[in-house]
Amino acid sequence: MKKFILAILPLVSLMSCTDYLDIKPYGKTIPKTADEFSSLLHYHLNEIDWGEETIVGNVITSGELECYADNLESLLTQYPTGNFIPLYIGDDLSEKQYLYGDLYAVIRDCNLVMGYLEERDSRLGQDVLGTAYALRGVCYYNLLRNFCEPWDGNASGKLGIPVVTEFDMEAKPLRSTFQEVVDRADEDFRTAISYDIQDPVFRFNSDVSKGYLARLHFWAGNYRQAASYASELLQKYPLLSGEAYRNMMESEVAATGNMILKSYTIVESSKKMSYDGMRSYMQARPVSAGFVKLFSGEEDADIRYSLSVGKDRVNNKYLFSCLRSAELQLILMESYYHLGQEADALAALNELRRNRITGVADYTMDTLPPVNEDDNIKADAKGNALTPLLYAILCERRKELYMEGDRWYELKRNGRPEMWTAKQGRKYTTYSYMYTFPLPVKDIELVDGLIQNPGYENVE
Amino acid sequence: MAVAAVFFFLAVSCDTADELPPLNEGYATTVIMPDPVDLTPEDREYMEAVQNEYEQAIAND
């Protein structure tokens, strides 16, 4: 009998805990009230105020993007300080896998809110839900720009990234199409707008979502929608000029002027130290001749020149991650161009220039400067040769959004040109495929059927 | 008999052990970039032109 009991005891103890390996702690960690879900989102929202790298970006991300592009001249980098900034995109490509994971971590939290929040009718509940949709839309937009090949006149057949709309830790989704990602983000932003977020503490109000809709559709080549959203917001946030513009651009931290959304609005000592460090390291890389020549003959009249270029041709501008009216004006003019409304595009271009360049004469179709054949961008988003009007628009965009991390995506959107730089006698090339970052190598190995982007076959 | 029963139940009681996600150790995590190449004389000429342009520009500042 004693032996029998000894045999039964381990049996009972071993078989009584069949769920001990269950990795889903059901009902234990998922928030319940709108307040708790709000806290979940505020973890991300607060990070934006201090400057974070995933959703809106920060000083470091904008600085790194500028280092990958051609506004600064990497061939003139001075060492050893220059060792603290990337030489070219190849230095950072492997690390971009973490950005992918970080974006899906935000999407996971948004999906938790959408799937489990019960208090949907209260004002707080609606603000929380609206913010979750807006944040998820921003994440899909970021994933699209960074991890998918750019729209080139045709979205069909282009790979997107996995679209995940429910919280399921065991799901292993495969890549959607480019168009499905655009549709998902579009619907998320429009749903966010329908919740009409009221409390400013949630930051992603309807205007922010409309701004991102303009960005999303511009990136996806849906120029009619892009122009419509940009035009609507410009009525509410008109362009600034003169001192009002200078004050906005010289305000490192506060979101002033017509900035609709800005990261890094609260100074925190350790982050400020790293941001100041980034700006200081970038002084080791002078502004490129190609960028400076955009101001040729207008250095004194164009307010952006002294804001951008300092003594010894080093950068003079704060690094921003923001959404502001000038970007919408640039989206508007280029969208008009691609829609065949050249007179409207020219008028929008001249309007921006009048707000930046004292005493400037409007361009006419006959006085537009010729295309500079030395520019890295040689074709437009559809692969067509540049015209003087489109080239003038691209140049204006480059001047306006300098040091805001825009030029890298402009190069990607317009032909993904190959560029090279050098260090210690060796030549490093930014190949076309590098504009599209690698999906995490681990995901490719763990998820059957998940397709890696071209160019990343060699891993270790 | 009892000892045999213990070993039997020990063996069958962990039938859900594979619920754990696969271990990550041993998986590749890094994408390998193409090796840099030596600069050609034309490349060095271009670099020199860039340097000269810069020095002239800041001298005239």
Subunit contact A10:B6, Cβ cutoff 8 A: yes
Question: Looking at CA atoms only, how far is residue A360 from chain B in angstroms?
Answer: 24
Total number of domains constituting chain A: 1
Q: How close B14 gets to chain A, by Cα (Å)?
A: 8
Higher pLDDT, A284 or A3: A284
| pLDDT bucket at A52, cuts 50 / 70 / 90 | confident
**A269 is written with which tokens?**
């000592």
For residue B11, the model assigns a pLDDT of 60
Of A253-257, A307-311, B35-39, B55-59, least confident by mean pLDDT is A253-257
CA distance A216 to A183: 10
Q: What pLDDT, on the 0 to 100 scale, is given for residue A171?
A: 87
- Is the CB of B39 less than 8 angstroms away from the CB of A426? yes
C-alpha A322/C-alpha A304 separation (Å) is 17
pLDDT classification of B13: cutoffs 50, 70, 90 = low
Task: Identify from A1, A292, A427 which residue to disrupt to test chain B contact, counting B C-beta atoms within 10 A and taking the largest count.
Answer: A427
CB contact under 8 A, B34 and A427: no
Would you call B27 and A429 a contact, using CB atoms and an 8 Å cutoff? no
Nearest to A194 by CA among A117, A133, A114: A133
Indicate the residue of B27, B37, B50 with minimum beta-carbon distance to A442: B27
Residue A182: strand, helix, or coil: helix
Residues of A within 8 A of B9 (CB-CB) are: 10-11, 14-15
Taking contacts as CB-CB distances below 8 angstroms, the residues of chain B near A286 are 54
Does some domain include residue A101?
no
pLDDT of residue A268: 85
Give the span between the Cα atoms of A57 and A37, in whole angstroms. 23
User: Does residue A50 register a pLDDT over 90?
Assistant: no
Q: Is the peptide bond before A80 cis (omega within 30 degrees of 0)?
A: yes
Structural domain of residue A391, as residue ranges? 223-263+288-431
Q: A23: helix, coil or strand?
A: coil
Nearest CA in chain B to A75: B47
Rounded to a whole number of angstroms, the distance from the CA of B13 to the nearest CA of chain A is 6
Mean pLDDT confidence for A437-445: 95
Q: What angle (nearest 5°) sits at the alpha carbon of residue A85, between those of residues A82 and A87? A: 85
The full 3-state SS of A365-423, as one line of letters, equals: CCCCCCCCCCCCCCECCCCCECCHHHHHHHHHHHHHCCCCCCHHHHHHHCCCCCEEEEE
Nearest CA-CA partner of A259 in A157, A206, A310, A328: A328
Report percent pLDDT > 90 for chain A: 84
Q: Which residues in A lie closer than 8 A to residue B33 (C-beta atoms)?
A: 90, 93
**A417: contact with B, CB 8 A cutoff:** no
Question: Does any CB of chain B come closer than 8 Å to the CB of residue A7?
Answer: yes
Higher-scoring residue by pLDDT: A184, A265: A184
**What mean pLDDT do residues A205-213 have?**
98
Distance CA A430, CA B57 (A): 27
Q: Is residue A69 part of a domain?
A: no
CB contact under 8 A, A313 and B54: yes
How many other C-beta atoms can be found within 10 angstroms of the C-beta atom of residue B59?
7
Whole-angstrom Cα distance, residue A436 to residue A151? Answer: 12
What is the predicted pLDDT for the residue at A428? Answer: 98
SS3 content of chain A, % helix, strand, coil (to 5): 50, 5, 40
Query: What type of residue sits at position A175?
Result: R
Query: How far is Cα A50 from Cα A35, in angstroms, rounded to an integer?
Result: 22
Where is average pLDDT lowest: A150-159, A300-309, A341-350? A150-159
A29-43, A96-110, A434-448: lowest mean pLDDT where? A29-43
- For residue A267, the model assigns a pLDDT of 87
pLDDT at residue B60, as a whole number? 79
Amino acid at A377: I
Looking at residue A269, its pLDDT comes to: 87
Query: What CATH number is attached to the domain comprising A237?
Result: 1.25.40.900
Give the Cβ contact number of residue A13 at 10 Å: 11
Question: How many Å separate Cα A162 from the centre of its chain?
Answer: 18
Q: How many CB atoms lie within 10 A of CB A51?
A: 27
Contact A6 B21 (CB under 8 A): no
What is the SS3 assignment for A261? strand
| Mean pLDDT, residues A91-106 | 95
- What single-letter DSSP state applies at residue A287? B
* Residue numbers in B near A456 (CB within 8 A): 31
Element (H, E) at A217: helix A206-219
A12 touches chain B (CB under 8 A): no
* Alpha carbon A351 to chain centroid, angstroms: 26
Chain B residues with CB-CB distance to A97 below 8 A: 29, 31
Is there a contact between A431 and B6 if contact means CB atoms under 8 Å apart?
no
Which of A3, A311, A422 has the CB atom closest to B47's CB atom?
Answer: A422
Q: What is the pLDDT of residue A79?
A: 95
Average pLDDT, integer, range A134-151: 98
What's the burial of A30, exposed, middle or buried (CB within 10 Å: 0-12/13-18/19+)?
A: middle
Partnered with residue A315 across adjacent β-strands are A309
B25 vs A363 pLDDT, higher one: A363
In a domain, A277, yes or no: no
B27 and A446 within 8 Å at the Cβ level: the answer is yes
CB A332 within 8 A of CB A348: yes
Given pLDDT bands bounded at 50, 70 and 90, which one contains residue B22? low
> What is the H or E stretch that residue B8 is in?
helix B2-12
Statement: residue A120 has pLDDT above 80: yes
Q: List chain A residues with CB under 8 Å of B13.
A: 11, 14-15
Q: Which residue has the higher pLDDT, B54 or A270?
A: B54
H-run or E-run covering A428? strand A426-430
- What band does A22 get if pLDDT is binned at 50, 70 and 90? low
Structure-token match 């030596």, residue found: B38
Q: Do A21 and B30 count as a contact with CB atoms less than 8 A apart?
A: no
Least confident of A30-39, A236-245, A314-323, A447-456: A30-39
Residues of B with CB below 8 A from A426's CB? 36-39
Beta-carbon neighbour count of residue A301 at 10 Å?
13
Q: Nearest residue on chain B to A313, judged by CA atoms?
A: B58
Half-sphere exposure of B27 (CA within 13 A, CB side): 13
Tell me if residue A450 falls in helix, strand or coil. Answer: coil
Instruction: Give residue A53's pLDDT.
Output: 84
Q: Is residue A145 scored above 80 in pLDDT?
A: yes
Average pLDDT, rounded, for chain A: 93
Nearest to A456 by CA among A89, A66, A63, A158: A89
pLDDT at B7: 67
Cα angle: A82, vertex A83, A87; to 5 degrees: 80
pLDDT for position A129: 97
Nearest to B36 among A75, A292, A426 (CB): A426
pLDDT, tens digit (0-9, with 9 covering 90-100), for A229-261: 999 999 999 999 999 999 999 998 888 999 999
pLDDT band, residue A270 (cuts 50/70/90): confident
The SS3 of residue A259 is strand
* pLDDT at residue A126 tops 80: yes
Q: Are A399 and A442 in contact (CB under 8 A)?
A: no
3-state secondary structure of B27: coil
Contact residues of B toward A, CB < 8 A = 1-3, 5-6, 9-10, 13-14, 16-17, 19-22, 24, 27-34, 36-40, 43, 47, 50-51, 53-54, 57-58, 61
Q: Please write the tens of the pLDDT for every residue from A299-310.
A: 999 999 999 999
Give the pLDDT of residue A287. Answer: 98
Any domain includes A459 = no
Residues 6+ apart with CB under 8 A from A335: A218, A223, A224, A226, A227, A230
Q: A289 and B38: CB-CB below 8 Å? A: no
pLDDT of A409 above 70: yes
- Count of C-beta atoms within a 10 Å radius of residue A460: 9
- Average pLDDT in the A14-26 region? 52
CA nearest A390: which of A362, A360, A414, A358? A414
Cβ atoms of residues A315 and A72 within 8 Å: yes
ipTM score here? 0.85
DSSP label at residue B38: E
Q: Across the interface, do B32 and A11 touch by the CB < 8 Å criterion?
A: no
If you average pLDDT over residues A434-441, what whole number do you get?
A: 97
**Whole-angstrom Cα distance, residue A127 to residue A119?**
11
